[in-house]
Amino acid sequence: MQFLLAGPGRLIFYAEDSGRLLHGPIETSPRTLMTEGGAVFRRLPAEAADTPWDRLVDVSLEPQGDHALLLAASWLRLESVDDLTLEGQSGPHEPGFALRVFTVAPDILAGISRLAGGAWISLSTAQIIDPGSITHTGDGGLRVGDMICRYADIADLSLSGQAWLPPVAAFRLVYDGWKIEYLRLWRPLVYFCAFGPDEIFQLLQLALDSLFTLGAYDGDVLVVGNEESRASLSALPGWLLARIRFHCVPASDVLDFTLARYRLCDMVDPAGFGPVLYLDTDVICDTTILPLLREVAVASKPMALAEGDLLAEAGYWGAPFFREDARSAGARLRGSFSTGVLGAPSAFMLRAGFRAIIETTEAFCRCHGTRVLPAYDQPGANYVLNKSGDIEIGSLRKYLRNHLGRLDTVPALDDRRGLVHFPGGVGYTTPKLACMQRYMAALTGPAAAAAGGGSPPYAGTMERQHINAYVQQRTGGRVQAGLFRGMRVLAEGFWSDGDITPKLLGVYEQELQASIARLAEGEIGAIVNIGAGEGYYAIGLALRCPDVPVHAFEADPREHAVIRHNAEANGVADRVHVHGACVADDVAALADAHGRLLVICDCEGFETALFATQGVAAALRHSDLVIECHDFADPGCTPAVFASLWRTHVIEVVYAGGRDPCAFPMLARFSDRDRWAAVCENRPRLMNWLVCKAR
């Protein structure tokens, strides 16, 4: 049982059932502490051989120096042994127990709470670190992705007093003794501005549809508009409305409409989102948007796409402002850019520049007695950000195509980068809409699916490999839900079942997930995965049980390298041991060496030979097992294994159940047949498993 304690009412709690760090105000729970003011905590669970985990006792907590605590109750006393460890002595009528309490300074606790409560991106590798991959090591440290840090080596830069740091680098970590890493917040926000006629909202619908389905985007979305916009939005499909948030601003003319994008920091917490991406409604997302968001997240400046000539007489970029600013002659200018797509590592980084764009543009208009400018907001944005130098206009070209002046043609399908902008100027909506509709039809038609890894069709069928490639791309190779959410699954290597989609979606063998989660609690000597395949269970349980060795048995030698590569990608290669085919003596030897095992078995008809023997049943009497029974390959294996284990185990027979293919927005444009195919596990008959818990 392990806790971090510091400060009244705050707790970092290591959840044994999930391997995750929970944080925040202390809540009432059998495995948490509860505070009622001051530094007094109550309802502390006692661990004892003969005492249930939910046994609650009243305990008081008193500071004993900088890093020591004294806990006392009527029947026990906990005294400081060193800076971080407290040991319990039993009272005359109660059994003893072992309890480790880690105490840290309040500022460190606040930082760990913030770290454990969010997702982050590494500035050096662009690796996304989800909350599920931030775990307690059990010895006064944290595992953050593949890094192990001491509490004192985690610096929350928002607490450093340096005002410029929070939006740039939220955390500095020291790992492996001296190596450093910087992390930024990963909470993406994509936002749009939509004002005017119904056609604008038809553009918006296409943009949102492509963002969620083709771009596989699952972050926050904000739509900015006025009261008239609110009414027009109601015509959008319900599934789109459920995914967006609307913010109403006072806006009455085109200049107001185009400047609304720069008022973002008046609408959201500037330090609460990153990366941030603004998109005009005439932008289509034609493939996964994740690489673009990663690039924006680790950038040092706001980003835009180069477009046009900054000083062109037409005035669409910076000429109206630069012509009248004599000091700009010979200035080091960055170049012209479109304001239809703007990105930044955080909303905070946009605050000063966006405010200057609004103030400068409105002041220019007042001085000239007009609110009509070529391209409206764009000249002022080009002027301000070129003068300040706070813009980078080269990198987005890898992810964005500008279809300027070519609205009579459809963009090429073989050059999908992430985004396509269909600019044509204010009031040029009808040609844009027609071109965008044709492009979406091309993206989702049979030709795109036949290209492999492309966008799904509106109707029809896709080959299994195309579904797999599509979902692999859209998920970024990470499990989206369920028992192993956040786990990386590499596309490389040999896949025995040729189908990783249910695993990436998190619905693979979902009828077992609750049972496996329960069995993974408590003390486990080792995890044994028989028939490990590519390592889905072996690696997933290694992540869930971070201090437990895992033995992965796989008869097909082609899978061994895949298991190792997946283990390395998830930072558990040191604990996942790969073996060949498993025999009964292997299981018995592991039980003798490690005591309680958690065994997950999918050995394709070898169940009777492996478990229906007296010696193996006796060796596993203290272990828990989940056994898939292949009666179609080995007739009678379910009753044979049941008969062998029922005396030593409580056995539940679990049958295959249904799936909900409509639960995943990325599959929304699949035909019904293809959505069901995406969650199908291709089993030859109704399967069953034996979930065996040691008596």
Per-residue HEC secondary structure of 182-224 comes to: EEEECECEEEEECCCCHHHHHHHHHHHHHHHHCCCCCCEEEEE
**Quick one: pLDDT band at residue 330, thresholds 50, 70, 90?**
low
Reference 362, options 510, 292, 263, 464; nearest CA is 263
Residues 412-421, mean pLDDT to the nearest whole number: 91
| Mean pLDDT confidence for 446-467 | 48
Q: What is the pLDDT of residue 158?
A: 65
Pairwise CA distance, residues 610 & 418, whole Å: 50
Residue 490's Cβ-count burial label (10 Å; 0-12, 13-18, 19+) is middle
Q: Among 31-35, 475-479, 590-594, which stretch is predicted with the lowest mean pLDDT?
A: 31-35
**Lowest model confidence (mean pLDDT) among 375-389, 494-508, 597-611, 659-673:** 494-508
Mean pLDDT of 430-447: 84
Task: State the burial class of residue 337 (Cβ atoms within 10 Å of its Cβ: 0-12, 13-18, 19+).
Answer: buried
Give the pLDDT confidence score for residue 107 in this predicted structure.
67
pLDDT of residue 486: 87
d(CA 267, CA 271): 12
> In which band, very low, low, confident or very high, does the pLDDT at 541 lie, cut at 50, 70 and 90?
very high
- The DSSP 8-state label assigned to residue 72 in this structure reads E
Q: Is residue 240 over pLDDT 80?
A: yes
pLDDT in the model for residue 435? 93
Categorize the per-residue pLDDT at 481 as very low, low, confident or very high, splitting at 50, 70 and 90: confident
Q: What's the rounded Cα separation, in Å, for the pair 259 and 426?
A: 13
Q: Tokens 């800076």 appear where?
A: 83
Whether 116 shows a pLDDT value over 60: the answer reads yes
- One-letter identity of residue 681: E
Tell which wins on pLDDT, 104 or 305. Answer: 305
Confidence at 622, pLDDT banded by 50, 70, 90: very high
For the ranges 78-82, 626-630, 683-687, the lowest mean pLDDT is seen at 78-82
Q: Which residue has the higher pLDDT, 425 or 57?
A: 425
Distances in whole angstroms, Cα of residue 133 to Cα of each of 143, 485, 487: 7, 10, 8
What's residue 112's pLDDT?
76
Domains of the chain and CATH, by start: 2-103 (no CATH), 107-185 (no CATH), 189-446 (3.90.550.10), 464-694 (3.40.50.150)
Q: Which pair of tokens denotes residue 562?
A: 């895949």
Edge to edge, what strands does the sheet with 86-89 contain? 60-63, 69-72, 77-80, 86-89
Name the amino acid, one letter, at 43. R
Burial class (CB in 10 A: 0-12, 13-18, 19+), 420: buried
Mean pLDDT, to the nearest integer, of 203-222? 90
Average pLDDT over residues 380-400: 92
Local confidence band at 104 (pLDDT 50, 70, 90 cut-offs): low
Mean pLDDT score, 562-572: 91
Model pLDDT, residue 47: 36
pLDDT of residue 197: 92
> Average of pLDDT values for 548-552?
96
Q: What is the pLDDT of residues 158-195, one digit of tens each?
A: 654 444 444 445 889 999 889 999 999 899 999 999 99
22 vs 514 pLDDT, higher one: 514
Tokens 């283990």 belong to 567
Helix (H) or strand (E) holding 679: helix 672-679
What's the pLDDT at 615?
83
A 10 A CB-CB count for 332 gives 6
pLDDT at 169: 55
Over range 617-627, report the average pLDDT: 93
Pick the more confident residue, 428 or 437: 437
pLDDT for residue 238: 84
- Residue 494: pLDDT above 70? no
The rounded percent of the chain whose pLDDT value lies above 90 is: 40
Tell me which range, 43-52, 155-164, 369-378, 474-483, is most confidently predicted by mean pLDDT. 369-378
* pLDDT digits 0-9 by tens, 642-669: 989 998 999 999 998 888 888 877 787 6
Task: Tell me the average pLDDT across 8-26.
Answer: 43
What is residue 633's predicted lDDT score, i.e. its pLDDT?
85
What is the pLDDT at residue 133?
Answer: 72
Confidence of residue 270 (pLDDT cuts 50, 70, 90): confident
98 band by pLDDT with thresholds 50, 70 and 90: very low
Q: How far apart are CA 623 and CA 480, in angstroms?
A: 30
pLDDT at 492: 59
Task: Give the pTM.
Answer: 0.62
More confident residue, 327 or 345: 345
Average pLDDT score over the chain: 78
What's the mean pLDDT in 483-487? 89
